Amino acid sequence: MTQALLPVERGASGSSPIAHVIVIIQENRSFDNFFATFPGADGATTGRVAAVPGPERSQCPYPRATTVPLAQHPLVEGRDFGHNYGDFLIAYDNGKMDGFNLVPVPKKGTLDCLTPYIYVNPGQIKPIWALAFQYVLADHVFETQGSGSFTAHQDLIAGGTRISKWASVIDDPGVYPWGCDSPPGTKMGLITNKLVYKRFSGPFPCFTQYRTLRDLLDAKRVSWKYYTPAIIPDGPTRGNAAIWDAFDAIKAVRDGPQWRTHVASPNTLIFNDIDTGSLPAVSWLTPDGFNSDHPQESINHKDVDLGPQWVANVVDAIGESKYWNSCAIIILWDDWGGFYDHESPAFLRDDQGGLGFRIPMLIVSPYVQPHVEHTQYETASIVKFIEENFRLDGPLQEPDARAKSITNAFNFNQTPRPFQLIESNHSRTFFLHQRPSGLPVDTE
- Domain membership flag for residue 197: no
Note the pLDDT of residue 58: 80
pLDDT at 5 over 50: no
pTM score, two decimals?
Answer: 0.94
Q: What ranges make up the beta strands (E) of 293-376? A: 327-333, 361-364, 371-373
Q: Residue 386 falls within a domain, yes or no?
A: yes
* pLDDT at residue 56, as a whole number: 80
Domain encompassing residue 86: 20-147+209-432
Q: Which of 142-151, 167-176, 238-247 has the lowest mean pLDDT?
A: 238-247
pLDDT reported for residue 359: 98
**Quick check: 8 pLDDT over 50?**
no
Do residues 123 and 184 make contact, with C-beta atoms less than 8 angstroms apart? no
In this structure, of 143-147, 177-181, 383-387, 411-415, the range with the lowest mean pLDDT score is 177-181
In the chain, % of residues over pLDDT 70: 91
pLDDT score at 2: 38
Q: Is residue 247 part of a domain?
A: yes
- Residue 374 belongs to domain with CATH number: 3.40.720.10
* Percent of the chain at pLDDT exceeding 90: 75
> Confidence band (pLDDT; 50, 70, 90) for 238?
very low
Of residues 396, 406, 405, 394, the one with CA closest to residue 352? 396
> β-strands 327-333, 361-364: how paired?
antiparallel
- DSSP-derived 3-state class of residue 20: strand
**pLDDT at residue 10 in the model:** 54
Q: Tell me, yes or no, whether 64 lies in a domain.
A: yes
Q: Which residues contact residue 166 at a Cβ distance below 8 angstroms, ignoring those fewer than 6 apart?
A: 192, 193, 194
Could you tell me the end-to-end alpha-carbon distance of the chain, in angstroms, rounded to an integer? 34
Residues 155-176: b if buried by 16+ CB within 10 A, e if exposed = bbbbbbbbbeeebbbbbbbbeb
Residue-level pLDDT at 178:
87
Which secondary structure element, helix H or strand E, spans residue 150, and what is its range?
helix 149-158
d(CA 145, CA 208): 20
259: left (phi over 0), alpha (psi -120 to 50) or beta: alpha
Q: Is residue 202 part of a domain?
A: no
Q: What are the residues facing 111 on neighbouring strands?
A: 104
Q: What is the pLDDT of residue 6?
A: 42
Asked whether residue 9 is domain-assigned, the answer is no
Report the sign of the C-alpha dihedral through residues 69, 71, 77, 79, in that order: negative
Report the pLDDT averaged over residues 203-218.
97
Q: What is the total count of domains within the chain?
A: 1
Question: Is residue 403 predicted with pLDDT exceeding 80?
Answer: yes
- How far apart CA 265 and CA 286 sit, in angstroms, is 10
d(CA 196, CA 412): 44
56-60, 102-106, 418-422 — most confident range: 418-422
Q: Note whether residue 154 is domain-resident.
A: no
Asked whether residue 182 is assigned to any structural domain, the reply reads: no
* 377-378 vs 189-192, strand pairing mode: unpaired
Q: Which residue has the higher pLDDT, 172 or 236?
A: 172
